Amino acid sequence: MIRYKTYYLPITLLAVAVCASASSAQAPVTETALTVNKKLVKLFGIGGFKGLPSYGSGILVSKQGHILTVNNHILINPGILVHLYDGRQYQAKVIAREPELDVALLKIDEEVDFLPHYNFDEQAARPIGENGDWILAMSNQFKIALRDEPMSVSKGIVAAVADLRGRRGVFDAPYAGDVYFLDIVVCNPGAAGGALVNLKGNLLGLIGRELKDSRLDTWINYAVPIQAQANVLIEGKPGTVTMAHFVKKGMEGTYKESDKIAKVDAGGYHGITLVVEATRSAPPYVEEVVPGSPADKAGLRPDDLILYVEGFSVPTIKVFRETLKLYAPDSEIRVQYQRGNKLENVKIKLTKHPKLQASN
Amino acid sequence: MRIFTCALMGLLASVTMAAAQNPVVLKSEADRVAVIEKVKPTVVAVFARGGQGGGTGVLINDAGYALTNFHVVQPTGPTMQCGLADGILYDGVLVGWDKVGDVALIKLLPKKEGDKFPYAPMGNSDLVKAGDWSIAMGNPFLLATDFTPTVTFGLVSGVDRYQPPAGIILEYTNCIQIDTSINPGNSGGPLFNMKGEIIGINGRGSFDKRGRINSGVGYAISINQIKNFMGHLHAGLDADHASLGALVRTEAEKAGIGRTKVTAILEDSDAYRRGLDQDDELMGFAGRLVTSDNHYKNIVGLFPRGWRVPLEYRRSDIRKEILVRLMGVQRKELPDPTAPKDDPKQPPKKGPGPQGPAAKFYEPKAGYANYYFNREEKKRLFADLKKHSDFSALAGDWKIEGNVNLLKLRAQTPFTTEIGEQKVGNSVITKAAVTIGAFTDRLEPLDKDNGLTDMRKPNGSGGLIAAIYVWRHLLTEGEKGFPSECNHGGSEPIYPPPPQGAAPQGGWMKRAVLANVLTTRLANYQCKWFFAQSDHKLLGFELRLQDANEDPCEVYFSDYRNVNGRQLPHEMAVYFRDVHYGTFSVTKYQMAPAPAKNAAN
């Protein structure tokens, strides 16, 4: 659900905020763009297939060349090429990753110093932005800039702060916390890892990937706030990690990546594994039922074809998954399915997800 | 979802209220509205005749000339229909185009002879910076049936951008990147700064998974690049972009800043003849720093073929600056590059032929977008030349006397130049001679047996005798003296030398003067004449010997004085290759009227 609590801010407070930002929005943002550009880098790595770009954007977070970016495919190979704002080129390596926050930290291989950068702790200590805030998005979208050519800058407004339900193809986005949704197109190829800043150049967030909203099936434009945090398992123990913590520990070289958690649908747990979603219209046939799971208790078996959930038709796996997301743990759902030539009705009582170790 | 909508409406209401109370916001909004009102009448909705397809354009002068994209007028053909914001539809005709740069100039025909059109001034796109505001106007999705332009407002996302060509055409160099929304149909429309000056022509965008609609990345061709081509466009040329004749790459250094080096060079390029070679490091080009190969391409893309621009390079520790004539991008006989090559089933996408009332202003000719306008511009050039000084009655013998400072002698030496016709038997032979000190060089300029060394006389001048002969021919005969070839060549910069004895002031860029160009051919002599854009004086010319891939003889005129009611130059500086051959100071002109009617070849 879209969180709407932020819309209930007192009108007076909003009015002040809008006044201030609207008037500053009349002035060109040239200076801010120049300053921010120096703290950003162009990244080049692996890609160029299946619509995946081989380039990206990153943010300098230390004068020695630590770079914060999105934990995406371009970082698969060890050697990543970095172009600084002044045209200098370096190789960089990934020194830490946190999949749950969808971030990675790189370090330039050479001895460098005095690089313009964001003090991440300081920036992350600022309050999170709000709806209606003016923003600038800066990235190397479409690989327009090389070497000393400046990043692209666009301006827009924070349209909403809400939780991300993104997907790429059939894969859910790794990060699912609060993000800034923007009123402009920013999530273009290569934009991920770029900077979302306010008109003064303060860092607000990390520009996100090219994703579709899994509820609406439309392209979304978002950035992950630098105050983001995620619930993770570290060596089997549940905990929370913030982006600031990740950057700090990452730079110290002591960051422990969280355990991989198998991505499960939001909503309650049922224990049904469906057949492989070979096509977008694949029907929800049961492949397996986890022994002891709610579905097992309700009597579902492999090869059952699920037809209705709470009276809603679920013709495809996709619709089934989307529908199930609406039902929280502890809710009971009516499921109608076909077994052989017969229609059957059962009630499944959903539970919380058991924390699963990843099988992949 | 309903809560969401209500809340959002509440938010918007509060924003509007808040904005309405802020005088800064009100002022800024009022200014923006005023600018849009001012420029709205200059935006043209361009349609193919019959309304199938089209784009946008913008009027740049009161005679009805408008800029648009090449890719807009290519499908419309040479005649099109143009709607203005007042709802009136005008006939339009193609004037000139620049396929590589994706620019075309069209002319709207006034409803009544002499009617003036509204137009927008051109700004200086070199001053545009990333982060500036911009306004795009046009006809996205061709949705305005009453021709009222759609307005979008946004940020300049980047300047000096390079977007590679499709094949060899539609290369966007030095372009302006915007987040201002542009969509199909906006093509050819203006990008304005907040003063209502044209800073670019919107032409393309970066699209990917989201389809061919605005993705927040649009590109406008910078107006300063178009200004360089304006002379060519007005002259109806199929203008070509420049290339250096060399491959330039930025080294991928492991660390640090890569150097931009020449990796290969054509031996018949002017750059090579001027001394540029493989492995030289490019430092500056046309007064701009070269820091990467994209920069380099951006700079080259600013200029039409044939322009001379200064280039600075470094070899080991020596920096050198040379003046380079740029080569072209397109081959001479260019097949339509947008036509699918391997698909015979699909006929090449070509616009319809000329139609309607504008058809009488269209004249096709190879190498030209519309030769009609070349003819018109040429007529104007000759009229100005004649107004300046009419020599048509003085087609007899010419004798020019004075002193010359030859570089190799470093002393004042008297000189005489004589040109005249002699009767030999039944035919008339043109003879020309230049005497410097005790030495006389003679040439029958039109003798078919002349060799290269004859035509290059006097030695080291690159062909001064022939040059003076052709110059007299231009002055006395005018356009009819060059039946085989005489065309307007658009505009080009020339670099007149400093007055005799004076040191050059500033670099090459400071000396550049933009001139109107006339190109002529007479027998073996191919000439480019440069006329001042201000007072139409002949500033100088280049003489090239045909079929000789060689450097021309360059003559620069100055010190114009009145001689019997006619203006004549009293100083002629002659250059060949990179060498100043000498400067001739004229003390006396003797020009006889033409003798009894003779057919002079």
List chain B domain ranges.
2-30, 31-241+345-369, 242-328, 387-591
ipTM: 0.79
Distance from CA of A300 to the nearest CA of B (A): 34
Distance from CA of A144 to the nearest CA of B (A): 7
Side-chain-side CA neighbours of A186 within 13 Å: the count stands at 33
Going along chain A from its start, the domains and CATH numbers come out as 5-252 (2.40.10.120), 272-349 (2.30.42.10)
Partners of B220 in beta bridges: B176, B202
Say how far apart CA B242 and CA A156 lie, in whole Å.
38
Q: Is the CB of residue A149 less than 8 Å from the CB of residue B296?
A: no
User: Amino acid letter at B216?
Assistant: G
Q: Average pLDDT, stretch A74-80?
A: 86
- The structure tokens listed for B108 are 């709207």
* Partner residue facing A149 (CB), from B21, B254, B294: B294
* Partner residue facing B206 (CB), from A90, A131, A142: A142
Closest residue by Cα to residue A230 from A254, A259, A203, A253: A259
Find the Cα–Cα–Cα–Cα dihedral B195, B198, B204, B210, rounded to 10°.
Answer: 20
Identify from B8, B177, B251 which residue to disrupt to test chain A contact, counting A C-beta atoms within 10 A and taking the largest count. B177
Q: Average pLDDT, stretch A328-332?
A: 82
- In order, the DSSP letters of A99-165 are TTTTEEEEEESS---------HHHHHTSPPP-TT-EEEEEE-GGG---TTSPPEEEEEEEEEEEE--
Say how far apart CA B97 and CA B188 lie, in whole Å.
12
- Cβ separation of A34 and B131 shorter than 8 Å? yes
- Cβ separation of A15 and B217 shorter than 8 Å? no
Q: What pLDDT shows up at residue A1?
A: 39
Q: At what angle do helices B23-39 and B2-21 cross, to 10 degrees?
A: 90
Distance from CA of B32 to the nearest CA of A (A): 10
Q: What pLDDT shows up at residue B568?
A: 94
Q: What pLDDT shows up at residue B401?
A: 95
For residue B129, the chain A residues in CB contact (below 8 A) are: 28, 30
Fold of B387-591: outer membrane lipoprotein receptor (LolB), chain A (2.50.20)
Separation of first and last alpha carbons in chain B: 89
- For domain B31-241+345-369, which CATH number applies: 2.60.130.10, 3.90.1150.10, 3.40.309.10, 2.40.10.120? 2.40.10.120
Distance from CA of A13 to the nearest CA of B (A): 10
Fold of B242-328: Pdz3 Domain (2.30.42)
Q: What pLDDT shows up at residue B213?
A: 83
Say how far apart CA B430 and CA B442 lie, in whole Å.
11
Say how far apart CA A30 and CA A17 lie, in whole Å.
22
For residue A7, the chain B residues in CB contact (below 8 A) are: 4, 7-8, 10-11
- Beta-strand pair B89-98/B238-239: parallel
Identify from B182, B217, B259, B291 which residue to disrupt to test chain A contact, counting A C-beta atoms within 10 A and taking the largest count. B217
Q: What pLDDT shows up at residue A185?
A: 93
For residue B11, the chain A residues in CB contact (below 8 A) are: 7, 14, 131-132
pLDDT band at A265 (very low <50, low <70, confident <90, very high): low
- In order, the DSSP letters of A242-272 are EHHHHHHHHHHT-PPPPPPB----SS-B--E
Whether the predicted pLDDT of A2 surpasses 60: no
Q: What pLDDT shows up at residue A358?
A: 34
For residue B179, the chain A residues in CB contact (below 8 A) are: 152-155, 184
B-chain residue closest to A90, CA distance: B255
Q: Is the CB of residue B280 less than 8 Å from the CB of residue B313?
A: yes
For residue B160, the chain A residues in CB contact (below 8 A) are: 149
Q: Which helix (H) or strand (E) holds B571?
A: strand B566-576
Q: Is the CB of residue A212 less than 8 Å from the CB of residue A219?
A: yes
Distance from CA of B557 to the nearest CA of A (A): 43
Q: What pLDDT shows up at residue A202?
A: 96
For residue B255, the chain A residues in CB contact (below 8 A) are: 88-91, 110
- The structure tokens listed for B111 are 């409803």
Whether the predicted pLDDT of A116 surpasses 90: yes
Q: What pLDDT shows up at residue A83?
A: 94
Q: What pLDDT shows up at residue B96?
A: 96
Beta strands in B5-125 (DSSP E): 43-48, 54-59, 65-68, 79-83, 89-98, 103-108
Partners of B538 in beta bridges: B531
Interface of A with B in 127-186 (CB under 8 A): 131-132, 141-142, 144-155, 184-186
**Lowest-confidence region among A191-195, A309-313, B16-20:** B16-20
Q: What pLDDT shows up at residue B399?
A: 94
Neighbours of B168 (CB within 10 A): 16
Q: What pLDDT shows up at residue A11?
A: 35
Q: Is the CB of residue B373 less than 8 Å from the CB of residue B364?
A: no
Angle subtended at Cα B539 by Cα B533 and Cα B543, rounded to the nearest 5 degrees: 120
- Beta-strand pair B439-443/B566-576: unpaired
Q: Which helix (H) or strand (E) holds A121?
A: helix A120-124
* Partner residue facing A33 (CB), from B131, B206, B255: B131
* Partner residue facing A32 (CB), from B19, B131, B179: B131
Q: Average pLDDT, stretch A18-31?
A: 56
A153-157, A288-292, A327-331, B256-260: range with highest mean pLDDT? A153-157
Q: What pLDDT shows up at residue B345?
A: 42
Q: What pLDDT shows up at residue A25?
A: 45
Positions of chain B with pLDDT under 70: 1-20, 253-256, 331-351, 501, 547-549, 596-601
- The structure tokens listed for B60 are 């740049």
